[in-house]
């Protein structure tokens, strides 16, 4: 189990980021990370199961494009999907990096290829698009609140306050 939370449409204040981390920290005791730019603040706490090395740290960013991903859950068919990504230079053995590379190659429709239980966030600064995705059965929680130009989201409903 991992946790994620964030706000899009504006940058969060430092105390808001700390509060978001506190809300989801019990979901991922092994690692935590923060990504911020002028349009998004994103926190992730990690329970390290697949690739517990530092290479699996999240939020994960593709340096060439700036695309950022954070994932809660597990992609069961990530090894098979990875085999189909010939020529990709992987830095980790994580399922999250496979999803990132799939997105970069095939766009958001690549989510349809995933088999597993997951809630994930993909921020694409090239198009200023935020994708919030869950598995078909909604096994992993992903709550959100939209007001005006601001969207808040979290693995825990208390993370929206």
| Residues recognised as catalytic | 2
SS3 for 80-129 is HHHHCCCCCCCCCCCHHHHHHHHHHHHCHHHHHHCCEEEEEEEEECCCCE
Convert 111-130 to b/e letters by CB count within 10 Å (16 or more is b).
beebebbbbbbbbbbeeeeb
CB 144 within 8 A of CB 132: yes
């Amino acid at each position: 189990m991992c946790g994620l939370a964030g706000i899009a449409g504006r940058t969060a204040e430092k105390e808001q980021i700390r509060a978001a981390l506190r809300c989801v920290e019990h979901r991922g005791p092994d690692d935590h990370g923060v990504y911020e730019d002028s349009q998004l603040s994103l926190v992730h706490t990690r329970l390290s199961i697949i690739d517990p090395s530092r290479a699996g740290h999240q939020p994960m960013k593709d340096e060439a494009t700036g695309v950022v991903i954070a994932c809660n859950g597990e992609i069961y068919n990530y090894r098979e999907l990875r085999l189909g990504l010939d020529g990709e230079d992987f830095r980790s053995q994580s399922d999250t990096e496979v999803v990132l590379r799939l997105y970069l190659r095939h766009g958001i429709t690549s989510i349809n290829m995933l088999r597993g239980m997951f809630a994930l966030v993909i921020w694409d600064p090239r198009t200023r698009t935020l994708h919030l995705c869950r598995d078909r059965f909604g096994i992993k929680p992903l709550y959100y609140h939209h007001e005006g130009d601001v969207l808040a989201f979290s693995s825990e409903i208390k993370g929206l306050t």
